[in-house]
Chains A and B, each alone.
Chain A
Amino acid sequence: MKRITLRFSNEKLSTLVYDSEAVNQLSFETIRLTDPMPVGINEEGILLNGRKYSHKLYAHNEIEFTITTDELSTNAIEFLKSYYLSNYQYISLYSSSWGNYIKVITEGGKFPLDYQNDIKYLPEIKMKLIYEDSL
């Protein structure tokens, strides 16, 4: 799994079936794309008798990808900025064919654009996406 399609929308999609002709959508051949990994949030503590507890509240899949210079044209960077700022973000992962869209969210903070070796012409974007639905 190396390829990811990003799609953003101003409204929630009515269907999650992949559409190769969709607008506001771009595919990337990343240099790094992790498999979805669960990240859990637990309620943890210790009782007065010393017994510890950890109660699982929920868990979400997270996925990380890196897109580097060769795919980061000016248009691609502008697309990724729009994607980062949009309210409805979706991904599709490629494994012999494009999978259904998955609704994801990005964390806040500065747009994750960095420059390799501090060279303007070597941009790189590392993004972490969190699945909206819990496991």
Chain B
Amino acid sequence: MTEVIFKEFLGNVKLLPFTGIAFYKREEWGDNADANVVFHQLEGESSWSIKGIMKDTFWGGKKKIGYNVDVNVYLPFNSDYESIKLTMDVVLKGRFSYSLLLGSAKASNIDYVPPAVINSTGACWIDISPADVNHSIEIEQVELRPRTIIRIQHFIKSLSDVTITNT
């Protein structure tokens, strides 16, 4: 009998804040070029979630039929704003996939080394390969400063579309 025991969480919990996101433009399905657009140093309010979509069954239970992915990237407003807008609206107007960068992770095949991340004890990529994904850009004023929000919401059929890699 196969037995899997997950244990020893105590003292081994990784702190992995959401620190960056890398977008990969897809000219053809399956192409996974180097990171085309990368954002580092996100605001702390940035978040992501993958939630199961449940459907009621005839027997009063529920059955999982897929997952909703919700990513909210908050970017401080700076002089890069125009290029951010241009990049997201023009360069990534078609199909793309993306990776969430957690902790001290950085996008693959780029030389840039992000500054040290506080409150992080690891590095991790979460690659998501959605069948159909797009983004919206919002601009809002928060007290003394405006900021940009990139929102990505899409559907994935199973968690096999998500790859988690510790780097």
A positions within 8 Å CB-CB of B = 2, 30-34, 66, 68-70, 116, 119, 121-122
CA distance A32 to B157 in the complex (A): 21
Chain B interface extent, by class = 10 to 19
- Shortest 10 CB-CB contacts between residues of A and residues of B: A32-B58, A69-B65, A31-B57, A70-B65, A31-B63, A121-B155, A68-B65, A121-B157, A69-B66, A68-B55
CA distance A30 to B63 in the complex (A): 10
Contact flags B123-150 to A (C-beta < 8 A → 1, else 0): 0000000011000000000000000000
A119 contact from B58, B63, B155, Cβ within 8 A: B155
Are B65 and A122 in contact (CB-based, < 8 A)?
Answer: yes
Q: A74 CB to closest chain B CB, in angstroms?
A: 11
The answer to the question of B29 belonging to the interface, with a C-beta cut-off of 8 Å to chain A, is no
A69-B58 contact given A121-B66, A122-B65, A122-B66, CB 8 Å threshold: no
Q: CB-nearest residue of chain B relative to A31?
A: B57
CA distance A119 to B157 in the complex (A): 12
CA distance A2 to B64 in the complex (A): 16
Beyond A68-B55, A121-B132, 19 additional contacts (C-beta under 8 Å) are A2-B57, A2-B59, A30-B58, A31-B56, A31-B58, A32-B58, A33-B58, A34-B58, A66-B58, A68-B65, A69-B65, A69-B66, A69-B157, A70-B66, A116-B65, A121-B66, A121-B157, A122-B65, A122-B66
Q: CB-nearest residue of chain B relative to A65?
A: B58
Are B66 and A32 in contact (CB-based, < 8 A)?
Answer: no
CA distance A119 to B130 in the complex (A): 14
CA distance A30 to B59 in the complex (A): 10
A70-B131 contact given A33-B58, A119-B155, A121-B157, CB 8 Å threshold: no
Q: CB-nearest residue of chain A relative to B61?
A: A31
Are B63 and A32 in contact (CB-based, < 8 A)?
Answer: no
Which interface residue of A34, A68, A121 has the most chain B CB atoms within 10 A?
Answer: A121
CA distance A121 to B59 in the complex (A): 24
Can you pick out 22 interface pairs between chain A and chain B where the beta carbons lie within 8 Å of each other? A2-B57, A2-B59, A30-B58, A31-B56, A31-B57, A31-B63, A32-B57, A32-B58, A33-B58, A34-B58, A68-B55, A68-B63, A68-B65, A69-B65, A69-B66, A69-B157, A70-B65, A116-B55, A116-B65, A119-B155, A121-B157, A122-B65
